[in-house]
Structure 1
Amino acid sequence: MTGIIKLDGHTLTRQQVKQIVKGTAVVELSPESEERIKLSRARVEKCLAEGQVIYGVNTGFGKLSNIRIKESDNELLQLNLLRSDATGVGDLFPTEVVRAMMVLRANALARGFSGIRHETLQLLLDCINKGVHPLVPSQGSVGASGDLAPLSHLALVLVGEGKAEFEGAIVRGDVALQKAGLVPVRLQAKEGLALVNGTQAMTGIGVVTLNEAERIGLVADMAASLSLEALRGIISAFEPALLAVRPHLELELVGGRIRKWLDGSKRVTKQGEVRMQDAYSLRCIPQVHGASWQSFFYAEERVQIEMNATTDNPIVLENGEIFSGGQFHGQPIAFAMDFLKLGVCEWANISERRTERMVNSQLNDGLPPFLATNPGIECGLMIAQYTAASIVSENKVLAHPASVDSIPTSGNQEDHVSMGTIAARQVRQIVRNTARVIAIELICASQAIYLEKAEEQLAPTTSAFLKKVREFCPPLTTDQPIGDEIEALAKYLLESDELVEFAD
């Protein structure tokens, strides 16, 4: 059943964006937003009628802002902005990211501070609802003056130019609109700038990535629980009273989740039963995973604010004044994405260490070397750990903060930029890499439990999840290629909302 989500510029959530992106909800403007949009447009037209000089409306852009534009050229100025700024290159953003960008740009414009006409914004909403998806290259934004290149590729389709995907076919923008029963818009003063000057590419990637990262964080906690059972880990390290003496909320969140999931397990041990202490990759799960959740919650908070913010320039205030400022600068999201990169990297780093403990016969408490059924003639999961090690090393390169870099643009008028879109693209790759690393941990834990014939000793919750893992990769009875199995399991971990049920 398709729901309706009303955009008002103030209350949009990432869960709602997920619904719209997946096509389970359509979008409309709230009545209050429609009124604000009309008033904002009237203010722009009043200022123009009074002969005021307004940046990007009757002046050039960036370093060219000192050039006055004739009134007869105001419309051409806006169209030329889209054409000149559509310089993106590289792989195309996937459809879910493009849809998120469209929703977030529409929601920002719905706030009524951008001076766009109602009919122009309505066409953007119609494209979302009817599945007209602009082709948007992923490279080309420096993350200040907004995401100019990506948003220009998006906006070109609204004027019948550029390229779009509609019903599985890639066609010109005007053809896509025609097939969807829509008519291109003719931009008026300020509208091109209103469409492209914002942070919706980096924030759109951020929203989609947060939804994926949440699932990966939950499955990191689940994989750790299964590894604790595979290695007969010490549950005493997760005692509530022990964790409470270091009162980080996220630390206790992870500890409580793992205690709940391991409730009823006959595999976990208490302090002194098998050994006095576990290695850090087992004993410090609440502290490490909890810190990663801190980065997630920080990024979520920043993205939630940005989703409901005005990020273009100039801004049309309610008192009728129009000011140029720096609301387009992506630094808040750049920092958030860079911080999230570190948190997700650590889920992968510590996961690979648990994998190493399970396959290493010097560390795995009596399990066969590399979890092989016939060690020597078989290598078992030896090279699966290589794959995990390779991926976590790649993640460390991607985790270098993009936001510490800045290259001046526009003749040094724009002399500090955020590189936030690069940070967002990198964190999404890290999340996808981490899904593969955790899939390998889950497969190793599954194999260890199989070799121990310990299925009946698992906790009910971990036992149920193990059955799901084995749908993708059954226990290995001999050496065989498992790259496809790792990839399929990682895809499930990224996309399935079943994981959230285990956290409830």
Structure 2
Amino acid sequence: MIELTGHSLTIDQLMKICVDQESVTISEKSMRDVQNSRLAVEDIVSNSKTVYGINTGFGKFSDVIIHEEDVEELQLNLIRSHACGVGESFPELVSRTMMVLRLNALLKGFSGVRPEVVEILKELINKQVHPVIPQQGSLGASGDLAPLAHLALVLIGEGKVYGEDDQPADSKYVLNAKSIQPVTLKAKEGLALINGTQAMTAMGILNYMEAEQLAYDSEWIAALSMEGLGGIIDAFHPDMHKARGYKQQEQVAARMSNWLKGSELVTRQGDKRVQDAYSIRCIPQVHGATWQTLDYVKEKLEIEMNAATDNPLIFDEGESVISGGNFHGQPIALAMDFLKIAVAELANISERRIERLVNPQLNDLPPFLSPKPGLQSGAMIMQYAAASLVSENKTLAHPASVDSIPSSANQEDHVSMGTIAARHCGGIIQNTRRVLAIECICALQAVDYKGPEKSSSKLQSQWNKVRHIVPSITHDRVFSEDIETVHNALNPLSDSRFGKIACYI
């Protein structure tokens, strides 16, 4: 069981809660902070003080005063009217992550909700009741209003949740079956639930976890390509990378050298040629730059997952209630746009290595790695597929954050589009994993021709793992199935992941 405080949640803890389904508990201090901020809200309502979001309308309606007897209806109307999400639903894992992040934010004690609201969120998480949340409809400022409204619907016994068969089910029936009592939202509670960046941040964290593993996997797959092509290992000499000064570049070079240690298939400078093409020679420089991006993105996510992102925020036990813009998703929008480009580059350089593996003018291997060139096409169209995915990534990599559009009668005149950035980043990650799966299949086949027994001991281990699920190409077959098999095996969030790779060398 993991204790939530609102201040100390880590990515590793979040993965244990969301992927491993660990339960959560709430710290006593955090619950006291929640209670104190709630008392401040109740004082504002009982004394008819005018404070945005507590007894006023929302957005352009912020100047409309709401009477005390209408405050509960205001919150109910807010949730229902803002539940405008459309399109396919987020995966259940994203939904669970959103709930954990929303609960953690409320526990900071700046939001003014009652303990009953945080308790039902905790109960939903621990009993694995996950809202069905459409992916599209968020502008990423004023928070992820539409997605979070669909989450909030479940707390009041409305909306849909994932049933036992993973199909949408009416929440009121599932809550009843799980003995969970819906809440009636009081002043400010609806706004506190939907003002936030939890959709883009949830997707962003899961993107980061997949991208990090992808970056590690790209290295041993590139090392197999090096062996298949007789690449020159001198390019990874530590002095070369120390001379430039980027620690991530040095680390990639060190890991590449370690993967290739003892290999009889790589060459030295001048053995066959003086230097390799950039897609081989510049692996540390290109992959290292992606690692720099990953470090930046992780830093922003770790801040955001413990941030207070609703509005207004309550300080000094109600002495100060401040309206601001912490719900604006710009930090995560830029991070996701940056991650999109960085992951797309892993695909770009991988596809160039695939071309070198299948093009007989660029290697000493059978044309297209075919067992019977001409009669059998071998990996010819696998390179086509990789090229298609890389091209699609270039479209998805266009930054969403530069495409602000005004809303709410121009009151909300600059928005982040951070959730779009996070969703597109997820698409790029899936595409890139498939490109790397194709490189893996081609590199393995090249090593088959060169002699797997000459491979390094670490790469022989990887060769055995993949060959256990994808056989050598002895004749043409439906390679789509092989690509998907390796793609699933490389996914750290997939049940079919073929064991943890010993990446931290």
Establish whether TM, by shorter chain, passes 0.5: yes
Post-superposition offset of 1:242: 1.2
Of the candidates 73, 81, 85, which is equivalent to residue 82 of structure 2? 85
Q: Deviations over 1:355-410 (max 9, x none)?
A: 0000000001x101000011111111000000000000000000000000111000
Tell me whether 188-197 or 7-16 shows the greater mean CA deviation: 7-16
Q: 2:297 matched to which residue of 1?
A: 299
1:279 maps onto 2:242 in alignment: no
Report the TM-score when normalising by structure 1. Answer: 0.98
Residues in 2 aligned to 1:243 and 1:15: alpha-carbon distance in whole angstroms = 30
Post-superposition offset of 1:192: 0.3
Residues 75 and 189, structure 1, Cα contact 8 Å, conserved in 2? yes
- State the secondary structure of the residue aligned to 1:134: coil
What does 1:355-370 align with in structure 2 at a 5 Å threshold?
Answer: 355-364=354-363, 366-370=364-368
Residues in 2 aligned to 1:97 and 1:28: alpha-carbon distance in whole angstroms = 20
Post-superposition offset of 1:469: 1.6
Post-superposition offset of 1:166: 3.1
Residues in 1 aligned to 2:161 and 2:498: alpha-carbon distance in whole angstroms = 29
What does 1:429-440 align with in structure 2 at a 5 Å threshold?
Answer: 429-440=427-438
Post-superposition offset of 1:247: 0.5
Of the candidates 479, 491, 495, which is equivalent to residue 494 of structure 1? 491
- State the secondary structure of the residue aligned to 2:448: helix
1:405 maps onto 2:403 in alignment: yes
Name the aligned partner's letter for residue 108 of structure 1: A
- State the secondary structure of the residue aligned to 2:491: helix
Post-superposition offset of 1:50: 2.5
Q: 1:148 matched to which residue of 2?
A: 145
Name the aligned partner's letter for residue 441 of structure 2: I
Of the candidates 113, 135, 139, which is equivalent to residue 136 of structure 2? 139
Residues in 1 aligned to 2:317 and 2:32: alpha-carbon distance in whole angstroms = 15
1:344 maps onto 2:333 in alignment: no
What does 1:242-321 align with in structure 2 at a 5 Å threshold?
Answer: 242-320=240-318, 321=320
Q: 1:95 matched to which residue of 2?
A: 92
Residues 113 and 318, structure 1, Cα contact 8 Å, conserved in 2? no
Q: 1:120 matched to which residue of 2?
A: 117
Q: 2:168 matched to which residue of 1?
A: 170
Of the candidates 193, 200, 218, which is equivalent to residue 195 of structure 1? 193
Residues in 1 aligned to 2:454 and 2:198: alpha-carbon distance in whole angstroms = 49
Q: 2:214 matched to which residue of 1?
A: 216
Residues in 2 aligned to 1:339 and 1:95: alpha-carbon distance in whole angstroms = 25
Residues in 1 aligned to 2:115 and 2:13: alpha-carbon distance in whole angstroms = 22
Q: Deviations over 1:170-194 (max 9, x none)?
A: 3212111111110100110010001
Residues in 1 aligned to 2:244 and 2:218: alpha-carbon distance in whole angstroms = 22
Q: 1:448 matched to which residue of 2?
A: 446
Post-superposition offset of 1:500: 4.2
Residues in 2 aligned to 1:461 and 1:232: alpha-carbon distance in whole angstroms = 17
Name the aligned partner's letter for residue 176 of structure 2: Q
Q: 2:239 matched to which residue of 1?
A: 241
Q: 2:479 matched to which residue of 1?
A: 482
Q: Deviations over 1:420-477 (max 9, x none)?
A: 000000001100111100000000001111122x111111111111111212321111
Report the TM-score when normalising by structure 2. Answer: 0.97
Post-superposition offset of 1:260: 1.1
Q: 2:23 matched to which residue of 1?
A: 26
Residues in 2 aligned to 1:443 and 1:341: alpha-carbon distance in whole angstroms = 24
Residues in 1 aligned to 2:486 and 2:178: alpha-carbon distance in whole angstroms = 36
- State the secondary structure of the residue aligned to 1:171: strand
Residues in 1 aligned to 2:16 and 2:316: alpha-carbon distance in whole angstroms = 32
- State the secondary structure of the residue aligned to 1:417: coil
Residues 461 and 502, structure 1, Cα contact 8 Å, conserved in 2? no
Residues in 1 aligned to 2:356 and 2:229: alpha-carbon distance in whole angstroms = 8
Tell me whether 244-253 or 466-475 shows the greater mean CA deviation: 466-475
Residues 489 and 498, structure 2, Cα contact 8 Å, conserved in 1? no
Aligned residues: CA RMSD: 1.0
Q: 1:428 matched to which residue of 2?
A: 426
- State the secondary structure of the residue aligned to 1:502: coil
- State the secondary structure of the residue aligned to 1:488: helix
Residues in 2 aligned to 1:181 and 1:51: alpha-carbon distance in whole angstroms = 36
Name the aligned partner's letter for residue 242 of structure 2: A
Residues in 1 aligned to 2:424 and 2:86: alpha-carbon distance in whole angstroms = 16
Residues in 1 aligned to 2:207 and 2:178: alpha-carbon distance in whole angstroms = 29
- State the secondary structure of the residue aligned to 1:498: coil
Q: 1:62 matched to which residue of 2?
A: 59
Q: Across the two proteins, how many residue pairs are aligned to each other?
A: 499
Residues 74 and 188, structure 1, Cα contact 8 Å, conserved in 2? yes
1:107 maps onto 2:104 in alignment: yes
Q: 1:322 matched to which residue of 2?
A: 321
Tell me whether 65-74 or 491-500 shows the greater mean CA deviation: 491-500
- State the secondary structure of the residue aligned to 2:245: coil
Structure 1 stretches of at least 4 aligned residues deviating more than 6 Å after TM superposition:
none
Distance 1:242 1:360, change over 3 A: same
Unaligned runs of 5+ in 2: none
Tell me whether 170-179 or 186-195 shows the greater mean CA deviation: 170-179
Residues 41 and 54, structure 2, Cα contact 8 Å, conserved in 1? no
Distance 1:464 1:418, change over 3 A: same
Unaligned runs of 5+ in 1: none
Distance 1:471 1:360, change over 3 A: same
- State the secondary structure of the residue aligned to 1:164: strand
Post-superposition offset of 1:25: 1.1
Residues in 2 aligned to 1:231 and 1:23: alpha-carbon distance in whole angstroms = 40
Residues in 1 aligned to 2:64 and 2:334: alpha-carbon distance in whole angstroms = 34
Residues 470 and 482, structure 2, Cα contact 8 Å, conserved in 1? yes
